Structure 1
Amino acid sequence: MPKRFVVAASDFPDLPRFPVGFELAEALTVASQQLHEAPTPQGTLRTAARLAVHIMPGAEHAGVSEIERGNKLRSLVWTDEVVRSAEARHGGREQHGHWDQLWHSPVARITDSEAEDGWDVLSALGLRSALSLRLRSDRRRLTVLTAYARKPGVFDEAATRVGRLFTAHVSLALDSVTVREQLTEAMHTRDLIGQATGILMERQGIDAAAAFESLVRASQRENVKLRDIARRIVDTHNTS
């Protein structure tokens, strides 16, 4: 379960709020640096939500959600509980064109929750405007950043353009940290398999090829990933 966090202006002292003109380029540069400093994909998403309320004109709250086919929505990170409450109420219990639109378009907007059908939840929480921007997509799910405001009509075309520039930086940072995490995992897996192979060579008096084949056969026989078989052997060896 993602942890709650609260946005404070002091979190990002280098960022001008609601930047315009050359300030936008400067703000996006600072934001990009902070996004790329996050060590994990989850950390990148937390940073993105917190930055959104500084970068995107009119944004007061923000969150990142995952939407599966059928419009089942799951909140990943949020700036405060009002976002979590709003998205939890629309978390898969009903279809809605706003979320469906994001499968076909990178942007979906709510101009006024009190005037548009189906958004009683938002208006009850005092949220009148929303701007959803797609970060990632595949055949099964979307990752979406949504900014919220308490006034209607906040997210106009200019705010949407800023939002799309910002989410382009978020997507690049997310791809980068995901690749780093995958490479780290691959290196860890390689080292783990190497250790397990060495242990089997010593125990059974066999060469490296035979030891690796033994790992593969065990993986297939037990229908368990090779790295998990290797981890089990290494852990047993270290505790014996």
Structure 2
Amino acid sequence: MHRLVEGAVHAVPAADAGGVAELTDADARSWAATLPLVKELAHLAVATDEGPLVEAMEARPGAAMVTDLNETSTRRWPHWARRARTAGVGAVLTVVLPCGARRRTQLFSLYGPRPGIFDASSAAAAQAFAAPLAVALPAAHRAAALERALASRDVIGQAKGVLMTRQGIDSTSAFDHLVRLSQESNTRLPAVAARLVDEVETAAERGSGDAHDS
């Protein structure tokens, strides 16, 4: 997905940044943002309910919209447009991807430095990337889910190791102990494990600092 977005930034004249965002009325999730600003603007759009990304949530799949940021847009979207203009954004080209899930709109946006910089040919070029991005987005979801699962497994393994060392128990008993803590606190198992590991690391750092001071 990163290569597709970077390819679009190079293929669409005057585009200097881009990214994919998934928006609901309550949150935003960014994918393949070529600059941190792209991610920031997606989250700001939801937080303020302003900007072309929010407006695009009402458009049909496949639609492309060009928005110039000027004094009029700043009056219309005082928080979002002011931040974008301050960061050097003058125009936004947004395409609604044809793969939106229920209650979630998936958008591909490109950002340019000056108003009037995107035209119909720019929109057509951006739309050409909509289908491959729509195919790549579910794969990105699966990869992110796998990364989270691996991270959870790793932290659970660390927590089991802590319990095995502290309590002199085997791996099965350590896991059962974590499950019991999870159930008793009504907290997901990875969160329980992460908290235990953090406590141990904090205690170790404090002990190291005390020894250094001594």
Normalising by structure 1, what TM-score? 0.52
CA contact (8 A) 2:53 2:94 kept: no
Amino acid at match of 1:109: M
- Report the equivalent of 1:138: 101
- Report the equivalent of 2:72: 120
CA contact (8 A) 2:52 2:92 kept: no
Aligned residues: 185
- Report the equivalent of 2:211: none
Hey, what's the Cα distance between the residues in 2 that align with 1:67 and 1:231?
29
Hey, what's the Cα distance between the residues in 2 that align with 1:233 and 1:184?
21
**SS at the partner of 1:137?**
coil
**SS at the partner of 1:69?**
coil
**SS at the partner of 1:146?**
strand
Hey, what's the Cα distance between the residues in 2 that align with 1:218 and 1:53?
49
- Report the equivalent of 1:196: 159
**SS at the partner of 1:169?**
helix
Hey, what's the Cα distance between the residues in 2 that align with 1:80 and 1:198?
37
Could you say if the C-alpha distance between residues 96 and 172 of structure 1 is closer, same or farther in structure 2, counting changes exceeding 3 Å? closer
Hey, what's the Cα distance between the residues in 2 that align with 1:197 and 1:131?
49
Give 1:140 shift: 3.4
Q: Mapping of 1:43-192 within 5 angstroms?
A: 48=5, 51-56=7-12, 58-60=13-15, 62-64=17-19, 65-69=21-25, 77=33, 91-93=48-50, 98-102=55-59, 104-110=60-66, 120-121=72-73, 131-135=93-97, 137-147=100-110, 150-151=115-116, 154-156=119-121, 159-192=122-155
- Report the equivalent of 1:17: none
Structure 1 gaps of 5+ residues are: 1-31, 37-46
Hey, what's the Cα distance between the residues in 1 that align with 2:61 and 2:92?
15
Hey, what's the Cα distance between the residues in 2 that align with 1:192 and 1:75?
25
Give 1:215 shift: 0.7
Could you say if the C-alpha distance between residues 107 and 79 of structure 1 is closer, same or farther in structure 2, counting changes exceeding 3 Å? farther
Amino acid at match of 2:49: G
**SS at the partner of 1:139?**
coil
- Deviation >6 Å, runs of 4+: 72-76, 78-81, 87-90, 94-97, 122-125
Structure 2 gaps of 5+ residues are: 76-80, 208-214
Hey, what's the Cα distance between the residues in 2 that align with 1:54 and 1:155?
17
CA contact (8 A) 1:134 1:143 kept: yes
Normalising by structure 2, what TM-score? 0.57
Identity %, equivalent residues: 27
**SS at the partner of 2:23?**
strand
Give 1:190 shift: 1.5
Give 1:185 shift: 2.9
**SS at the partner of 2:106?**
strand
